[in-house]
Amino acid sequence: MSVSAMMCAVSLQIIANVATIIVEETEESNEEHAVWFQRLIVIDFLCCGAILLPVVCEFRFS
């Protein structure tokens, strides 16, 4: 994975985590609120996987 792709994944993960904190702190309890919270969690996990996968492959094949 190139450095620019990893920087993009890290930046997206930071934005998703900040947005998750903002969504958690608001007191809205409608369905759209829950859907956005779930989407942000999925984005966070995808970014984590995008960062960890090349690292694990590098250790496994080296």
List pLDDT tens digits, range 3-48.
787 888 889 899 988 988 888 887 766 777 788 888 888 988 988 8
What does the pLDDT read at residue 62?
67
What does the pLDDT read at residue 5?
77
> Whole-angstrom Cα distance, residue 51 to residue 24?
25
For 43, 44, 47, 54, the CA distances from 57, given in Å and listed in that order, are 21, 20, 16, 5
> Whole-angstrom Cα distance, residue 9 to residue 13?
6
pLDDT in tens, 45-58: 988 888 888 888 88
